[in-house]
Amino acid sequence: MHTPSSSDPALNLMTTPVRQLIKRTPITLPPSTSIQAAAQLMSELRVSSVLIEEQGTLFGLITDRDLRNRVVAMGMDIQRPIADIATLAPLSVDIKAPAFDALLLMARHNIHHVPVLDGLQVVGMITATDLTEQHSTSAVYMAGDIYKQTTIAGLQQVAVKVKRLQQNLAAADASAYNTGHIITAITDALTTRLLQLGEAQLGPAPIDFVWVAAGSQARSEQTAKTDQDNCLVLDDHYKEARHGEYFKALATFVCDGLDACGYIHCPGEMMAMTPTWRLPRQQWLDLFARWTSQPDPKSLMLTCVWFDWRAIHGNMAMAEDLHREVLQRTQGNSIFLAHMVGNALTHRPPLNWFNGLSTIRSGANRGTIDLKHNGIVPIVDLARVYALAGGDTAVNTHDRLESAAASGAISEQSARDLRDALEFLACVRIQHQARQMLQAGKPDNFLHLVEISNFERTQLKDAFRVVESLQNILGQRYQAGRF
């Protein structure tokens, strides 16, 4: 299977622990320290940020940007305590985590300073500049550009760089797992910025809400070729007469904005701008209950979209609590899971009776292999069944397979084989799309076998055989009623 080269910048971030990026002991101050004293210390030590500790616990942080924007620009008294200008309870990363986690944190939340913790103890700080030697950190700066934009036109100009980012990652032989996370982080940033601009235009939301991504964005598995799947979960105090127009306008603004940035409207209208997918929390719970208790074909199709679910912006806890409640309904639900297995087995790898590759026989894509629907989707479907059966909150397919192995739902070897198959197929897809974009073409999922070597064709068949084998095992387990 595919093994990224040692020069893969994203792989370097995956294998480099945060610990190795810490260059000095943390510079900490108590929250009562004056702004002037903190600024003097930062100047003397030539640092761009200082951590604030209270009773041995991380309290907050201040950066040179805080001094510029919150003190100088506002004419604030420099004898006031730094607690008045600090970012409180800042996002942090564990010392044992890979540096890649810090990269995603920075890109998704438009931050450039991340405290490092060992348990509750502050052990250091890493910044975007600590990662500048890594090619993939361009995602951090692209996300920063997104948050500076104040118009749809400005966001469009940044969004066109996504294709170049994927090309650069493909040229560096970056892993598909990392590429998916990086590309999706940019989608998250665009979505969040559109929501911010929408609220600036329409005014603050009248009640709590959370914008939720579904499908490949939720799984952090996007490429430059994608449409949008999203929804709105509204607080149960929602009243259509009082709040309906506001959220209709907000959702339409964001979905149209994403479309303008290259994330086309979902052909099936599974978007927050569609009234069906803009609902109060309890109505969402009722929908999930109906889908799991009466799993007809349409319900199964909707399940495949909406059970891959990740909060992007708003009251995040509301979506996460709802997701957990839904998983409680699927865990051990043998009838529902049996239907899910049957649905998963409708997507089969393109292998013929002689274990050779079977290409599409007619139509515009005649002679090609659909890498998405006949290669990647079957693995996604398998992993989703394992997650729903085990009540696992993981959404990314790779992570779901790891959890399935840890829980004993499948063997460690089977999980490893599926992860390798997924990585190889996704890399072939990314490289295929990069070649198309290099030739000024539109990226798609249809591979002509002449694009790859005989060796890669053998790997392709091996990957498909792995998927077929695990599908057969799952089918037998379903027929035996072991769910």
Beta carbons within 8 Å of 286's beta carbon, 6+ residues apart: none
Name the region of 391 (left: φ>0; alpha: ψ -120 to 50; beta: rest). left
**3 state DSSP class of 49:** strand
Q: Spell out the domains of the chain, with CATH numbers in brackets.
A: 20-95+113-125 (3.10.580.10), 149-330 (3.30.460.10), 339-479 (1.20.120)
Cβ atoms of 389 and 443 within 8 Å: the answer is no
Beta carbons within 8 Å of 271's beta carbon, 6+ residues apart: 228, 229, 230, 231, 251, 255, 265, 277
**3 state DSSP class of 228:** coil
Cβ atoms of 274 and 312 within 8 Å: the answer is no
pLDDT given at position 15: 62
Residue 127: DSSP 8-state: E
State the 10-residue block means of pLDDT for the chain, 483 residues long: 42 70 87 95 91 90 92 93 93 89 84 91 86 59 88 93 84 86 92 97 97 95 88 96 97 97 93 97 94 88 90 94 90 87 90 88 94 94 92 94 92 95 95 87 91 94 95 81 49
Measured between alpha carbons, how far is 265 from 227 in angstroms, rounded to an integer? 6
Measured between alpha carbons, how far is 253 from 190 in angstroms, rounded to an integer? 12
pLDDT given at position 13: 61
C-alpha 161 chain-centroid distance: 18
C-alpha 167 chain-centroid distance: 19
Measured between alpha carbons, how far is 338 from 76 in angstroms, rounded to an integer? 64
Measured between alpha carbons, how far is 218 from 395 in angstroms, rounded to an integer? 7
How many Cβ atoms are within 10 Å of 276's Cβ, its own excluded?
A: 12
Tokens encoding 282: 């309890």
For 463-474, b/e burial (b = at least 16 CB within 10 A) is bbebbeebbeeb
Residue with tokens 């939301």, as numbered in its chain:
205
Cβ atoms of 375 and 397 within 8 Å: the answer is no
> In 3D, which of 373, 379, 372 has the Cα closest to residue 430?
372
Cβ atoms of 140 and 112 within 8 Å: the answer is yes
- In angstroms, the Cα distances linking 210 to 105, 107, 278, 474 are 19, 20, 10, 35
pLDDT given at position 441: 79
Beta carbons within 8 Å of 177's beta carbon, 6+ residues apart: 14, 398, 423, 426
Residue type, 49: S
**Predicted structure pTM score:** 0.78
Measured between alpha carbons, how far is 109 from 454 in angstroms, rounded to an integer? 43
Cβ atoms of 172 and 9 within 8 Å: the answer is yes
> Which long-range contacts link 130-135 to residues 24+ away (Cβ below 8 Å)?
130/21, 130/23, 131/13, 131/21, 131/99, 131/102, 131/103, 134/9, 134/10, 134/12, 134/13, 134/99, 134/103, 135/9, 135/10, 135/168, 135/169, 135/172
Tokens encoding 220: 């952090």
Measured between alpha carbons, how far is 476 from 297 in angstroms, rounded to an integer? 21
Residue with tokens 């510029």, as numbered in its chain:
68
